[in-house]
Amino acid sequence: MADEPQLKPRKSVAFAEGQTIVDGDGQITSTMQTNGEKDSAESHSKPEGDQSVDEVTAMFEGLAKKKKKKAKKEEGEGDEDGEDKIADDGEVDLSALKKKKKKKPKTTEDDFEAKLAEAGAGGDDAAAPASEEKEAAPSGVQDGDLVKGTGIWAHDDTKPINYESLLNRFFTLLHDSHPDLASSGGKSYKIPPPQCLREGNKKTIFANIAEICKRMKRTDEHVTQFLFAELGTSGSVDGSRRLVIKGRFQQKQIENVLRRYIVEYVTCKTCRSPDTELNKGENRLYFVTCNSCGSRRSVTAIKTGFSAQVGKRKRQRA
Amino acid sequence: MSIENLKTFDPFAEAGDDNSGQTSRENQSGYIHIRIQQRNGRKTLTTVQGLPKKFDQKKILKVIKKKFACNGTIVNDTEMGEVIQLQGDQRKDVQEFLVDKKEGLELDAKTIKVHGF
Ligand SMILES: [Zn+2]
């Protein structure tokens, strides 16, 4: 029965700065970029020395393409706006919020990507050699081990080094000496997905609200208040700090509201860091202070607004 | 001829909301709130709160009812003023209607806040 409370495998909300790609079987992978420009730059220049990276990048391209197509389809149906975009298996990708569409330069890549996408459907192994072929051709002349400093990388070699090799060297060195700069690992921020159970027929239990609030560094009360205001309902907290919400809500719906909460009350608008604090400032105003860049902004208090009278009208009149 | 330096762009403006400093607001919050509430079972209810006073709520309701094939009423709330109540989840439709330039109210999308799940 659909009404059965089901405990789904733990999913996570990814707050990676780089593109986060969700695999079909629920694996989540983040590309190693810190910003959008680098993304396209790196995917152009596949490091020749590092086949595994090559393969991974190729895989990403195929996946990214697939995901974009999916997104387009969703738009066509016109049922959700960009914010509510959720991957099939329920993974939430907050980074998609801002940079849903990355502009890829339209060069020969177009058919290359199409090929990749095709190959990706059959198996990712097939995609890798294709990309190597393509990438190895222009830089075949430029030999040498950049780590050991031989060939074109020798100190006294005067042969001009082409752009792709240089770029490749840059990323290799970056990965080696500053892995945290090259990867989004440091910035990635995950909160567990909300666990929703059904209590009876009319109530929903949001089981791990305490854990989520702890991760976001917000009080349960504030989050609860926001949830109730947004969902247009009320509820209570039970003995083990679980939130009992009146009404039937799915995990996806709670997730959407939480995501909005994060955008509004958690992330820093200046540097997008989720490492922030919410304090009550002067004149009853709430301020979000960022722990990474120090910026401070005021946030609106949560207002419940108009709430229509639902049911029980007879009882209230009497 | 336009000189790049003379554009009236405020670099210190709050990121995200451009109207933060505006004073011409219809009521204290200035926003139109579209909310959803659950009723029994799968039934839902949409409320539209804070429509500008210059519009006749009754007429708007009439158009909406016809357009989205749903019933609805106007509730007079002591705090929030007149609130349009519609049957079912009409949030998206109402939002589009309020923004629509041709047959809608031509409101600014920034002043509309859609709540709910
Ligand atoms: Zn910040």
Each residue's pLDDT tens digit, A207-263: 999 999 998 899 999 999 999 999 989 999 999 889 999 999 999 999 999 999 999
Pick the CATH number of A196-299 from 1.50.10.20, 3.40.50.300, 1.20.1250.20, 3.30.30.170: 3.30.30.170
From chain A, the residues in CB contact with B49 under 8 A are: 305-306
Residue A3: pLDDT over 50: no
The answer to whether the Cβ–Cβ distance between B38 and A230 falls below 8 Å is no
CA B12 – ligand 1 centroid, Å: 15
Point out the least confidently predicted range of A214-223, A304-313, B99-108: A304-313
Does the structural domain B32-115 have CATH classification 3.30.780.10?
yes
pLDDT (mean) for A129-145: 52
The answer to whether the Cβ–Cβ distance between B117 and A231 falls below 8 Å is yes
> What ipTM did this prediction achieve?
0.73
Element at B97 (helix H, strand E)? helix B91-99
E strands, B65-109, where?
A: 72-77, 81-87
The answer to whether the Cβ–Cβ distance between A269 and B117 falls below 8 Å is no
User: What percent of chain A clears pLDDT 70, i.e. is strictly above it?
Assistant: 48
Instruction: Give the pLDDT confidence score for residue A204 in this predicted structure.
Output: 93
Q: Which of A96, A307, A210, A261 is nearest to B117 (CA)?
A: A261
From chain A, the residues in CB contact with B96 under 8 A are: none
pLDDT in tens, A89-124: 444 444 444 444 444 444 444 555 555 455 544 444
Asked if A225 reaches chain B (Cβ–Cβ under 8 Å), the answer is: no
Higher-confidence residue: A160 or A50?
A160
Higher-confidence residue: A281 or A111?
A281
Q: Indicate the residue of A79, A249, A308 with minimum beta-carbon distance to B37.
A: A308
Higher-confidence residue: A305 or A180?
A305
pLDDT in tens, A22-65: 444 444 444 444 443 444 444 444 444 444 444 444 444 444 44
Q: What is chain B's mean pLDDT, rounded?
A: 80
Domain positions in chain A: 160-184, 196-299
Q: How far is A102 from chain B (nearest CA, A)?
A: 20
Which amino acid would we find at residue A75? E
Phi first, then psi, for residue A235 (nearest 5°) are: 175, -165
**pTM across the whole model:** 0.54
From chain B, the residues in CB contact with A230 under 8 A are: 115-117
Residue A297: pLDDT over 80: yes
